[in-house]
Amino acid sequence: MMFSNKHFVVMVLAIITLPQIICAVNEYVWGTFNPATISLTNISKQSDVREGSSTITLTISGADPEAVITADNTTAAQLSNGTDTLVTEYKLTFDGDGTSGSGGTSMTEYVAYDTFLSDGLHIQQAGGDTNVQVTLHVQASNRPNEVSDAGDYTATQTITVTWDGL
């Protein structure tokens, strides 16, 4: 069998384009983020509810325009001082709705830390908009009929983005 120039050109084009088609086109990149930036004011009485938030930019590029965001649902995401815990709830909001601007359906209600984003929340890229402002909101309060000990409470919430279907 003779090896022709025509076959060589087809093979070179396949080698050049296949890596881009197969694996190198989709990317979701978090911007610079300082996770210690959410700070809540003191809870001074049983009925106090405190809220805070922090925003990060998610950059989207590639042919797969949809992703899913999930969160850590372990006790690491619950506000604790080592011996006592607070009612810890989260919600996520976006600057776009996934149609007129990249983003998704923002959460309107707070959800307990152990169920927050457990089913995932979809993000859709829209018409050349490659940046999504993702805002993590946290709400803390005492348990009903209970006052938590004074002190510093900390939690670590990990948010993960994956391509839809992975």
Task: Note the pLDDT tens digit of each residue in 94-130.
Answer: 998 888 888 889 999 999 999 999 999 988 888 788 8
Calculate the CA dihedral of residues 18, 31, 34, 79 and round it to 10 degrees. -70
Task: Give per-residue pLDDT as tens, 25-81.
Answer: 556 676 655 555 688 888 888 899 999 998 888 887 766 667 888 999 999 999 999
Highest mean pLDDT among 12-16, 22-26, 64-68: 64-68
Q: In angstroms, what CA-CA distances link 97 with 48, 73, 100?
A: 32, 25, 6
pTM of the model: 0.79
Q: Are 108 and 92 in contact (CB under 8 A)?
A: no
Q: In the chain, what are the domain boundaries?
A: 26-163
pLDDT at position 20 over 80: no
Which amino acid is residue 106, in one-letter code?
S
Lowest mean pLDDT among 30-39, 141-150, 157-166: 30-39
- What span, in angstroms and rounded, lies between the C-alpha atoms of 85 and 66? 36
Q: Which two tokens stand for residue 49?
A: 């509810």
pLDDT at position 24 over 80: no
Topology classification of domain 26-163: Immunoglobulin-like (2.60.40)
Instruction: Give the pLDDT of residue 22.
Output: 43
Instruction: Give the pLDDT of residue 66.
Output: 73
Q: Average of pLDDT values for 124-153?
A: 87
